[in-house]
Amino acid sequence: MEPVFKKYNQEQGILFPPYLVDLIPLNHPVHVVNSVIEKIDIDQIKSTYEGGGTSSYEPRMMLKVLVYAYMSNVYSSRKIEALLQENIYFMWLSGSQKPDHNTINRFRSEHLKDTLKQTFSKIVLLLHENGYLDIKDIYTDGTKMEANANRYTFVWGRGIKTRKEKILEQIETLWAYAEQVTKEELMDTRPVSYEEVTPEKIAAIVEQINEALKGKDIDKKVKQKLNRVKKTWPEQLERYEEQEKKMGGRNSYSKTDKDATFMRMKEDHMMNGQLKAGYNWQISTNNQMIVAYSIHQSASDTVTFKDHIEDYRQLYGATPEVVTADAGYGSEENYQYAEDNEIEAFIKYNYFHKEDGKKWKSDIHRSENLYYNADLDCFFCPMGQPMKRLKESQVKTKTGFTQTIVHYLRQSTVMDVR
């Protein structure tokens, strides 16, 4: 039997062209994007447009296209431009309009830059109102993401400190030499401290040493060193000051992405724990949906907790009622913050599981295992002798949180209880 083929004609016309939506399955995610963004208020985005000139593309349409593109892991404006001409899902969302890549870039950089987070919160509130999630009960965790930066162009805070300390040591050496030669001119004066190592101070000290040594028979090497110091050190210190300003209290930054900090990534393709420029993303979820996110420059989850919850407060006008997180967030400061803001926190601390172990519980010398008499405000040592309250002292953590330490005394022994 001869095979039979269906008729094929590329020039075949259509009497009644179909609607694009008729070609899209009813359960396709593009319908969800369209429906949700149709329901939210985008007045904040519209307020970023100025009147006059030619007409602009409808911001709601642009937002739909961008959201669906990001859902499809497409971020390039040129690729989005191509999809608007080739892909029926994008063509339907845009109403067959075709904004070019420059228009797409301007929309997200000029009109979404300061309004994207508010738009995100409106979508979350819409899901909350329809019962898909509960924004008051959140689960928080963090992950480190590598920045798009050169991993070999870095500046380390420790390196700057080391170089400034070496400058200070050499200044003190020159000063001591000048004192020895001049006998009197530099007596009863002292070189600068580490905190005062500035371009102006160093230049003034070098000038003072030069004036004191003028006309004196000094070592040629010392003279060469003074000339080199005068010529190069102020410029170096200015560079260090600028780098410290960019660092802003961090321990490092990348020259090709000054906001990125070097930290160890969870997933390392080299499998060697290499430090890479990146960010610490904090994400809170409910019912497997993201309800809040924030980006941090600190590698430790512990110090990001307060800022993340404050960011949540700005989005929704109040703190969450319940927060669940892992032991990476466990600290006295975070527990105190949760208590002050009436947050029910389910957050373990580092030694949570160890304290439940037999070895920990059987160690009679640990302060946690000593008997405490609340009426007498004293502990009893393993020998049964009382340890009475001696004093209180306070220490500040790196984040500025004040910890109170209570000291208890048993004869010549002092025990600290934090």
Residue 6 covered by a domain:
no
Residue 204 covered by a domain:
yes
3-state secondary structure at position 10: coil
Strands (DSSP E) found in 190-288? 252-254, 261-264, 275-286
The residue-averaged pLDDT of 147-166 equals 85
Specify the pTM. Answer: 0.77
pLDDT in tens, 91-145: 999 999 999 999 999 999 999 988 989 999 999 999 999 999 999 999 999 999 8
What are 392's two structure tokens? 């209180």
Considering the domain architecture, whether residues 31 and 127 belong to the same structural domain is answered as yes
Rounded Cα gap, residues 40 and 124, in angstroms:
10
Of 65, 98, 132, the domain-final residue: 132
**pLDDT at position 91:** 96
**What value does the mean pLDDT of the chain take?**
86
Considering the domain architecture, whether residues 26 and 126 belong to the same structural domain is answered as yes
Considering the domain architecture, whether residues 39 and 126 belong to the same structural domain is answered as yes
Considering the domain architecture, whether residues 96 and 41 belong to the same structural domain is answered as yes
Strands (DSSP E) found in 287-411? 289-296, 322-325, 344-347, 371-373, 378-380, 386-396, 402-410
pLDDT in tens, 346-399: 999 888 888 888 888 888 888 888 889 988 889 988 888 888 888 899 998 888
**pLDDT at position 179:** 67
Residue closest to 266 by CA, chosen among 247, 246, 280, 286:
280
Residue 55 covered by a domain:
yes
Residue 229 covered by a domain:
yes
**pLDDT at position 418:** 58
Residue 308 covered by a domain:
yes
Higher pLDDT, 205 or 91: 91
Does residue 153 register a pLDDT over 80?
yes
Does residue 336 register a pLDDT over 90?
yes
Residue 83 covered by a domain:
yes
Higher pLDDT, 126 or 192: 126
> Starting from the edge strand earliest in sequence, which strands make up the sheet with 402-410, in order?
371-373, 378-380, 386-396, 402-410, 413-417
Please give the tally of structural domains in the chain: 4
| Range name among 59-73, 292-306, 354-368, 394-408 with the lowest pLDDT average | 354-368
Place of tokens 């997933």: 267
Higher pLDDT, 224 or 316: 316
**pLDDT at position 417:** 58
Considering the domain architecture, whether residues 357 and 339 belong to the same structural domain is answered as no
The percentage of residues in the chain with a pLDDT greater than 90, rounded to a whole number, is 45
Residue 269 covered by a domain:
yes
Helix or strand run (H / E) with residue 142: strand 137-146
CB 284 within 8 A of CB 290: yes
**pLDDT at position 338:** 96
Rounded Cα gap, residues 162 and 236, in angstroms:
13
Considering the domain architecture, whether residues 116 and 210 belong to the same structural domain is answered as no
**pLDDT at position 184:** 53
Of 323, 350, 377, the domain-final residue: 350
Considering the domain architecture, whether residues 379 and 314 belong to the same structural domain is answered as no
Considering the domain architecture, whether residues 60 and 108 belong to the same structural domain is answered as yes
C-alpha 79 chain-centroid distance: 30
Domain with 373 in it? 353-417
Does residue 187 register a pLDDT over 70?
no
Considering the domain architecture, whether residues 194 and 247 belong to the same structural domain is answered as yes
Does residue 273 register a pLDDT over 70?
no
Considering the domain architecture, whether residues 404 and 344 belong to the same structural domain is answered as no
Considering the domain architecture, whether residues 381 and 340 belong to the same structural domain is answered as no
Considering the domain architecture, whether residues 245 and 190 belong to the same structural domain is answered as yes
The residue-averaged pLDDT of 63-68 equals 96
Residue 298 covered by a domain:
yes
The percentage of residues in the chain with a pLDDT greater than 70, rounded to a whole number, is 90
| Range name among 12-16, 298-302, 377-381 with the lowest pLDDT average | 12-16
**pLDDT at position 221:** 75
Phi-psi region of 188 (alpha: psi -120 to 50; beta: other; left: phi over 0): left
Report how far apart, in Å, the C-alpha atoms of 209 and of each of 70, 165, 170, 224, 376 are: 63, 19, 13, 13, 64
Of 132, 164, 196, the domain-final residue: 132
CB 142 within 8 A of CB 301: yes
Residue closest to 165 by CA, chosen among 135, 139, 140, 196:
196
